[in-house]
Amino acid sequence: MTLISGAIETLRGAGYKITDRRIAMLEVLYGTDKHLTAKDVTERMAPDFPEISPDTIYRNLHTFFELGILEETEYEAEKYFMVKKAPHDHHHHFICTNCGKFINIKMCPLNYFEEQLGDVKISGHRFELYGLCADCKKKLETQSED
């Protein structure tokens, strides 16, 4: 079973209709390894679905997130979405403050915080690091040498 067909089965199992628009959205999302905004998805779908509204895109992205198909992160008041490559794909991000590039961090610090907090029940978390990616850091260093 492909990742897209798994997502379709998840939607179907939750009682959602499988429409051409939803399949096209999934194809856009599974067709990239980048984090996309609702605007990015709308632009990529526009050639085949010029009438689709940003609200429809955002509602579906939220549904996909709620069903565990997508991960969601926020940067500069904008929500970014990316498909989970596996059902329990859990990772965090380094986000370049210059170019906006996302780099996945495979390690999760949650265990450390659970140890520090003792007898608590954590219901969710988000961990992101910000700075300059290697390319932007190199460009900045080159510019300062000039």
* Domain of residue 60, residue span: 1-85
- 1 pLDDT band, cuts 50/70/90, is low
Residues 49, 14 share a domain: yes
Distance CA 89, CA 105 (A): 11
Domain count along the chain:
2
Q: Which of 130, 120, 122, 121 is nearest to 93 (CA)?
A: 130
Same domain, 76 and 108: no
At residue 134, does pLDDT exceed 90?
yes
pLDDT band at 88 (very low <50, low <70, confident <90, very high): low
The Cα–Cα gap between 49 and 71 comes to 24
Give residue-wise pLDDT tens across range 42-66.
999 999 999 999 899 999 999 999 9
pLDDT higher than threshold 70 for residue 87: no
> Hey, which residues does 81 pair with through a beta bridge?
36, 72
Is 98 in the same domain as 112? yes
CATH of the domain at 10: 1.10.10.10
- Let me know: does 115 contact 121? Beta carbons within 8 Å: no
Instruction: Kindly indicate the confidence band of residue 86, based on its pLDDT and cuts at 50, 70 and 90.
Output: low
Helix, strand, coil abundance in the chain, percent, nearest 5: 45, 20, 40
The predicted model gives 92-109 an average pLDDT of 84
Considering the chain, what percentage of its residues have pLDDT values greater than 90?
43
For residue 107, pLDDT over 70 is answered with yes
